[in-house]
Amino acid sequence: MTGMSNEIPTHRVVSIFGTRPEAIKMVPILRELTHRGNEFQSIVINTAQHTDLLQPLLDYFETQVDHDLGVLRSGQSLDQLLARLLNALDGILDQIQPHAIMVQGDTTSALAGALAAHHRQIPVVHIEAGLRSGDRYSPFPEEMNRRLITQLTQYHMAATQDNVKNLMADGVAEEWIFHTGNPVVDAMQSVLADMAVSPETEALLHSLEGQRLLVLTTHRRESFGHVMAGNMKVLADFVESHPDVSLVFPVHPNPRVRAECQAILHGGPRIHLIDPLVYPDFLHLLSKAWLIVSDSGGVQEEAPTLGKPLLVLRENTERPEVIACGAGKLVGGDPARLAQMLSDIDQDPKWLAEINKIENPFGDGNAAARIVGILSEVLRSGQTLPQSCEILKAG
Ligand code: UDP
């Protein structure tokens, strides 16, 4: 297990995750826990909700996994996934007897981890707490997952002041909310400090020198169908009619994304459809972008951190900070609006020039140290149940 030292660690902290974006944000915290190995025993459970996208990341960050739940099955429903996760966690958590369970974000793995913790009355630490889109079906199922996780959480680690406000509006007492920043900034800083880019990505970028580089990612369930197809068509047309623009799209392995991509973008001039990139390569690609177009959650935090302009391919965003700080614009669900925005930016690039002056709303790179510091204090002081639960127990 990670975090072992000669002294006996005081607190066993179990971290549960299973997707690429969760791992990116958990790794800085796991490193910090390991660094404080005399105080914490860090135990990592990989649910393996994703495998192909996750494993290269774990390899890159040299993350040691203590338990692999292997829950991925092709075509399983969300119910089947949740049931499989709870079942797999059942025996393991009883063996470990953790003092705290940490989950990140809004996946079904995070929901299962928080629920299994609650069933054992183990305090839940929620990283990136308090994001809200305001629409229970978008992003789906993540928006409802995060609301449910809030109800199950004791220590809410909020990335931004807006997230703190959302939690308070949900009735969470201020004393249980900690404004920490988002550990994605910590992860990015460590990757950017030591950017080892693969020869393939280097060669691709070299071949595109002198071009305006459009970077696309799209894979969200809510975009499937005519919105995703329409957006791809708009992008293909824009690239075709602008000979100095190239598009690079690391295509998500989801078969529906691959099918749309094959039908609409494949074979277009100056369109490069590539496999998903390992994290340092992807950050390198983003850092060279003229414009990023994406429906990803994590990319909304990465674009302002890199000082890059982003068009958000969503109806709404749970990260309004990206719009408020000036780094992003919300496209909405109408591909005609994407076409209009591309044309406006092309004709008046003033917006692009202003972006690298913005202040990053997502943190300063010290979120992991803050989170582990808070965890140390609250666990040492024995603050393990919110008042409402004490009352509930007393009753
Ligand atoms: N990402 C990556 N390689 C790629 C595309 C994305 O490493 O080829 C990273 C990206 O930097 C971001 C994360 O994957 O941090 C986003 O994951 P995804 O889009 O799957 O999920 P979401 O952010 O929408 O939850």
Domain ranges of the chain: 11-181+366-393, 198-357
Give the residue numbers marked as catalytic.
106, 128, 142, 219, 221, 252
Q: Is 250 in the pocket of ligand 1 (CB under 6 A)?
A: yes
What is the atom index within ligand 1 of the atom nearest the CA of 142? Answer: 25
Q: Is 282 in the pocket of ligand 1 (CB under 6 A)?
A: yes
Pocket test for ligand 1, best of 274, 299, 308, 313 (most atoms within 8 A of CB): 299
Angle at 261 between CA 258 and CA 266, to 5 degrees: 120
Q: Is 217 in the pocket of ligand 1 (CB under 6 A)?
A: yes
Which protein residue's CA is at the shortest distance from atom 2 of ligand 1? Answer: 279
Report how far ligand 1's centroid is from the alpha carbon of 214 (Å).
16
Report how far ligand 1's centroid is from the alpha carbon of 203 (Å).
22
Report how far ligand 1's centroid is from the alpha carbon of 379 (Å).
32
Residue range 198-357 forms a domain whose CATH class is alpha beta
Same-fold call for 11-181+366-393 versus 198-357:
yes
Report how far ligand 1's centroid is from the alpha carbon of 298 (Å).
6
Architecture of domain 11-181+366-393: 3-Layer(aba) Sandwich (3.40)
Report how far ligand 1's centroid is from the alpha carbon of 84 (Å).
25
Q: Is 298 in the pocket of ligand 1 (CB under 6 A)?
A: yes
What is the atom index within ligand 1 of the atom nearest the CA of 276? Answer: 8
Q: Is 142 in the pocket of ligand 1 (CB under 6 A)?
A: no
User: How distant, in Å, are the alpha carbons of 35, 37, 148, 157, 378 from that of 373?
Assistant: 12, 13, 26, 12, 9
Report how far ligand 1's centroid is from the alpha carbon of 21 (Å).
6
Residues 6+ apart with CB under 8 A from 176: 153, 154, 155, 156, 386
Q: Is 20 in the pocket of ligand 1 (CB under 6 A)?
A: yes
What is the atom index within ligand 1 of the atom nearest the CA of 24? Answer: 15
Per-residue pLDDT of the chain (395 residues; tens, 9 = 90+): 554 445 566 899 999 999 999 999 999 999 999 999 999 999 999 999 988 899 999 999 999 999 999 999 988 999 999 999 999 999 899 999 999 999 999 999 999 999 999 999 999 999 999 999 999 998 999 999 999 999 999 999 999 999 999 999 999 999 999 999 999 999 999 999 987 899 999 999 999 999 999 999 999 888 899 999 999 999 999 999 999 999 999 999 998 999 999 999 998 889 999 999 999 999 999 999 999 999 999 999 999 999 999 999 999 999 999 999 999 999 999 999 999 999 999 999 899 988 878 999 999 999 999 999 999 999 988 765 444 434 333 32
Pocket test for ligand 1, best of 54, 205, 296 (most atoms within 8 A of CB): 296
pTM value? 0.93
Q: Is 296 in the pocket of ligand 1 (CB under 6 A)?
A: yes
